[in-house]
Structure formats: structure tokens, C-alpha cells
Homo-oligomer: A and B are copies of this chain.
């Protein structure tokens, strides 16, 4: 598992809308408070070494694994996304372009695929901002359907902590933030 390619960089499948939002956020990273997070083919490549050791003991290594977000073989078919983190604000913004293999009802994203992107954004936000690594409870309220190929802008933030528990909220909107696709808490 030595593929160290960063899969969260723009590629030919990204729509102009997706690239535009990506460039806007990238510009914010030069100011210092935001960071672009790379993403890989294998789970755990982003984990700190001490975490990884603990988890590897708990679960036997499986062969030929792949991070679920990278399940689609071809560029553009599955989860195209990039996550930006603001540690001071304990917040992440995820740009997500669902490909045609994430279909639920005809032409529309599967609720589970949107849930997967929300869950991943929650995880990264909690891991980067509060050192938490497991999702306990997640509630998603689906508001309006996401058309495949369109851009989803997810914004997740830490809303509180209670011992080892971290509370989070997330909004999924369209690119100009005029349509709310879903709200989630965890």
C-alpha cells in the first residue's frame, strides 16, 4: 500500500463550478487560517502513527482494501472531493462532486453516498479539531435531492465537547448556497 497520490486535487472530471469553488478556498489557505487536506487511496494514510498502531491491533489487516471514498475505479465516477480545515474555527469545508456511480433514484445521489461524505467530513473535523476517531450517533435530515454531477458544499463544525464526546453539525448546500440539500448532527 505505497500509493501516495493525493486524490483531492482537481482533475479533468471536475466541473468549472467545482474548480471555481476549489480555487476560492485555496486562496484562503494562503492567508494562513485554512489548510487544504490531502486524501489517499488507503485508509489510515492520514492517521497519526500512534493512532494507527492502536487501530491495527483491533482489526486484522484485510487484503486489497481501499478507503470507501475511493471505491469507484475511474476518475469522476464516484466521490470527487476536497476538504479544507480551519483549526482555529474547528471547522471543515468539503467540496463534493458526486459521480454517476453514486446513484440512488434515477439521476439523484443515493442518500447513503451523501451520508458517507457527511460522515467523512465529520470524522476529519473531529479528528483534526478534537482528536476523536469514532462516530457515535449521526442524524441526517434530507431536504432536497442532489443531482449527480452537481457540486455540494459541506460545512461542518465542532459545536461542543463532553468528556471524550465531540458534537458536530453539518450543512450540505449547493455551490451558491441557495439550496439546502441536507443538515446533519453527530
* A179, CB-defined interface residue at 8 Å: no
Q: Which residue of B lies closest to A59 (CB)?
A: B107
Query: 0/1 per residue, A107-146, Cβ < 8 Å to B?
Result: 1111111011111100100000000011111111110010
Report which residue of A43, A44, A107, A145 has the largest number of chain B beta carbons within 10 angstroms of its beta carbon.
A107
Shortest A14–chain B CB gap in Å is 16
Q: Which residue of B lies closest to A148 (CB)?
A: B62
Q: With A59-B147, A108-B59, A116-B110 given, is the CB distance from A71 to B135 under 8 Å?
A: no
A68: which B residues are within 8 A, CB to CB?
Answer: 101-104, 109-110, 112-113
A73: which B residues are within 8 A, CB to CB?
Answer: 73
* A105, CB-defined interface residue at 8 Å: yes
Q: Which residue of B lies closest to A122 (CB)?
A: B111
* A77, CB-defined interface residue at 8 Å: yes
Stretch at the interface among A23-31, A50-58, A158-166: A50-58
Those 4 A-B pairs whose CB atoms lie nearest each other, nearest first? A112-B116, A59-B107, A68-B110, A65-B100
